[in-house]
Every structure is written in C-alpha cells, then in structure tokens.
Amino acid sequence: MAARSGQKRQPAALTRREKVESRETAILSAAQKIFAARGYGKTTTAEIAAAADVAEGTLYLYYKNKEALGRAVLADFYRRVTENARRGVEKCPATREKLEFLARHHLKNVIRERRIIELVYILEREMDSYEGGQLYQMNRAYVAVFDNVLREGVARGEIDATMTPWITRDIFYGSLEYAMRSMLIRDRQKSLEQVVSELVDLVMRKTSPTEDNHPSFANRTGDAADRVLDAARRLERLLAAQETKGEYK
Amino acid sequence: MAARSGQKRQPAALTRREKVESRETAILSAAQKIFAARGYGKTTTAEIAAAADVAEGTLYLYYKNKEALGRAVLADFYRRVTENARRGVEKCPATREKLEFLARHHLKNVIRERRIIELVYILEREMDSYEGGQLYQMNRAYVAVFDNVLREGVARGEIDATMTPWITRDIFYGSLEYAMRSMLIRDRQKSLEQVVSELVDLVMRKTSPTEDNHPSFANRTGDAADRVLDAARRLERLLAAQETKGEYK
DNA sequence: AGAATTAATGAGTAGCACTCATTAACGAAA
DNA sequence: TTTCGTTAATGAGTGCTACTCATTAATTCT
C-alpha cells in the first residue's frame, strides 16, 4: 500500500474513476435483472434507474438510450455464455461430448435467460452494415465455438463432412432455440436430455440402427440376424404409428 | 337477384353488417401492411388509423389494443400460410417432395414477412394457460401439416422413425428460421435450395453414401440387437406415457 | 317521421423515453 | 485548507404514444 503516490484512500472512499465504473456496472446489472424478470417491453427506464440507485437522467450519461442499454445487456450475456462454452468444451476429450456439452449448455442458458435472448428479435438491427454490428460480431464469436468443434471433429474423422458447415451450425442452434419453446410447454428436464442426444446424433450422422433404406441392405436372406432385424423393423413401424397418434391430436 | 326480401341494395350501398366487416378488414390489412414495412415497434396506432381511413378511436372498437391488433395480424398470417402449406403438400406425390415443398414454402414466407414473424417474439404470451392461447393453437395447426407428412412418410416406410416426432419437427422448423437469419446476411437464392435439400436429407435420414464410416457397420451383427433394444426402450416410454395419460394434453 | 340503437369521432389523459438547465462532487493548484 | 475549473448527477420539463370517453353521426325499428 505504499508506493501509489501520496493519495490516501480508505476502502469506502472510491476514486472518481472507480465510482464511474461501479455506477456503470450497477446500471447494467440492474437493467439485466429487470429485463430478465419483466421483459424489455414492460421495463421502464425509471425502474432501472431506481434499482441502480441513480436518477433517471444519469442512465443517459452511460447509455445513449434504452435500446443501447438492451444491447449492452445482450452483449454481456453473449460474453458470459461464450466464455463458459469455451471453457466447457476444453474439458471434453471427444467430439461427441463436446457437442453434447454445447447443446446442453445452450439449452439451459436460453431457457434460464430467455427474456434476454428475446432481445435478439426485439432490438432493431444496427443500421450501418449489419455484418459489422457489435451484436453480429458477438454472435459470431459465440457460434465459432461450435464451428471449431465441428471442424476438429471432421478433421479427426469423428464426424462425416457431408453437410455444409454453416448449415450444420444453423441446424444445431436453430433446433435448440425452437426446441426451447416446445420444452417450456412440456415437461422440462426429461426432454432436455432427449433433445440433446437426438440432435447430436443427427449432427454426427450417427444414424444408429436405421440404415435399412440403404440399398446394400435390401433383402438379405436367411439367418437369425435377419429375422430379428425384420422384427425390429416391424416393431418400429408400429411404434411410430402409436407414438405419433398419441402426441398430436 | 329476386328472392332476397324487399331490400333494395345498390352495389355501392352496403348494409350495416357489410360496412362493419369491411371496416374490420380495412383496419386489419392496413395494420398488416404497416407492421410488415416498419415493424411493430415503430408503427403508431395513428398511422394505422390513417391508412385504414378511420379515426384513431375507431381502432379500439374493433381491437382491444395495439397488441390485439398485432395478434390478429399474426393469426391471419398463420391462416394464410397454413392453407398454402396444406394445398402445396397435397399436390406432391412422394414424401421427399412434400418435405422439400414445406421447407421451401416456410423459408420463403418467413423471409418475405419476417417482420410479421417477429411478432411471435414481441407479443407477450397470453397469460391464461398458454396452451389454450389462440396463437399457440394456430401454430399447432400450422406445424401439424409437417407432422402429418412425417407420420405418413414413416407409415409408408419412406422415413426411418428413429427420432421422436416432436423433436424432428423442432429440428425442421427451428433450422429453417435460424437459417433465415444467416441467409439474410449471405446471398439469398442459392443458399435457399442448399438449406432445403440438406435439411430434408437429414430429416429423411438419407445419409448418402458416407455411412460406411459408422461404427455400427463395422460389425453388422450389432445392428439388429441395437434396433431391438431401441424398440424396447421406446415401448417402455410408450407404456409409461399411456399410464400417465393426459399429461401431454 | 321520430325514437332507439349502434357506430364513429377526436380532443383529452396518463405514462413513457428522453433532454437540459441547474446543482453537486471532485481533484489539482495556490 | 481554500479556491476554482472540470466532470458527474439531478429531476422537473417535453414531446410523443397508446388508449379513453363524452359527444355526434348513422342506421334500423316502430
């Protein structure tokens, strides 16, 4: 505590710079909390100001307007979630585990902070060349984690590279976000694991025991294996019919 | 033109009922036009009233508030798009063609009327039991077109039924809507066909000639066992569902 | 035609995001 | 410590927007 110039500073007394920074984070986290609870549309700037313990006018010293505040909240969400995704993926040895981790992680986060995610749709796109927009870049950085896993998996031979990478990515994240909506209506926990595993299967092209459409499997004759296979096929048809009947009116 | 009671009606003179109805559709289509052009948030009720050639107060005789108007516009969109999907699917003989039609149709529509689609995210959920909500029902009716194609395809043996139907559906529509965002940034037309065909491949599990990589092909004897096991698992699930029937409503 | 019912109007209201003239807090120089 | 220039904070005020409601107009009924 010696060398830092002649300035005495008690723990409670903050320097000017520190005060400004703490105010900024206070506003941001107040906004994040209220947006997450009430949603962007129903949140008033007055509420945010009160929660951050500043005057309404002060908000506008730190953020240009409510929309900019929303953008900042969303950007912060991307930052957190990207960081966590990176860290989690590092720990997984195999591609399948990485993908499963990413899927689970994404689903959990979009469910927990779905009102923050909605900002993606609510906020107007930044007008100047969308590609250069901040949120576009942050989203890029986030999905890049998946892209890397995919690329690595293909290089290692753990994934078949039949699909265009960006389409694979769209399928991955698109399915998850759409599935979230379904899951919020149905039971949550059980479906989560189901969605994750089926989606990862799909992306990895582990087509599991369904290859009978393939020409090379057309009628093999004779042995016990075949008869079991045939039984399986018939069971599957029956099941499919039953399952679909029950689920959709 | 004879029998209809003693009422004389010139083509220009509308009965009261007709007038009311024409006003209603005038308001609805004005709203639809402006929402589609400017987006919900930037559209004012004054604008809509002017475009529909009524006073501002009149809007509120027909729709409870701006949100209800948004809901009506979205509902109308679902109605049109569901009808078109149904008609288009009818004309296709094979499952693959049906799916391709649906994918193309959906993509084109969400791109063209994306500001209407955004209403799904912007509008607050109707609070009372979301499942019974009007928009939930309309969305159900729309995706049911896909569900039927899927079910039929499975019954015909054109699609393997390894995946849970509702997850397949989420993957289908989720991918398309997410892909839309990517497509709006990249070049549009070329990617459209690419997305459609790769997605349909995926859903149909036509894994193309790359499935030799799959482990289960290394030892073929495992196949049948896998499938029976899988069928057993599904049977268990089905029975469990039957026992707790009514859970899924 | 006159009465009764229903539809349409637009000035008025409340609530919101945002501004700006004023005040307070700070830090460096005297 | 006091002074003073600079930066930060304030909150009453502004304009815009969704929505209301007392009044007026249109339509049907008797």
Inter-chain touch B144–A248, beta carbons under 8 Å: yes
Q: At what angle do helices A66-91 and A134-156 cross, to 10 degrees?
A: 20
Identify the band that residue B244 occupies on the pLDDT scale cut at 50, 70 and 90: low
Interatomic CA–C1' length for residue B121 and nucleotide C15, angstroms: 24
Look at residue A3 in the predicted model and tell me its pLDDT: 37
Indicate the CATH number of B70-207 among 3.40.50.1000, 3.40.830.10, 1.25.40.80, 1.10.357.10. Answer: 1.10.357.10
Mean pLDDT of B178-187: 84
Find out if CATH 1.10.357.10 is the number for domain A67-234. yes
Interface check for A130 against chain B (CB to CB < 8 A): the answer is yes
pLDDT tens digit string along B185-240? Answer: 776 667 899 999 999 999 997 544 333 333 333 344 456 666 677 677 667 666 66
User: What does the domain layout of chain B look like in residue ranges?
Assistant: 19-63, 70-207
pTM above 0.75? yes
Interface check for A174 against chain B (CB to CB < 8 A): the answer is yes
Classify domain A15-63 at the CATH superfamily level: Homeodomain-like (1.10.10.60)
Identify the band that residue B243 occupies on the pLDDT scale cut at 50, 70 and 90: low
Geometric angle at alpha carbon B140, from B155 and B87, rounded to 5°: 65
Contacts of B198 in chain A (CB under 8 A): 163-164, 167
Mean pLDDT of B76-99: 97
On the question of pLDDT at A155 being above 60, the answer is yes
| Average per-residue pLDDT for chain A | 83
Question: Which of B131, B224, B242 lies closest to A229 in CB terms?
Answer: B224
Mean pLDDT of A137-158: 94
On the question of pLDDT at B129 being above 80, the answer is no
Contact A232, B224 (CB under 8 A): yes
Class of domain B19-63: mainly alpha
Interface check for A215 against chain B (CB to CB < 8 A): the answer is no
**Nucleic strand D within 7 A of Cβ B58:** no
Mean pLDDT of A142-164: 92
pLDDT tens digit string along B97-116? Answer: 999 999 999 999 999 999 99
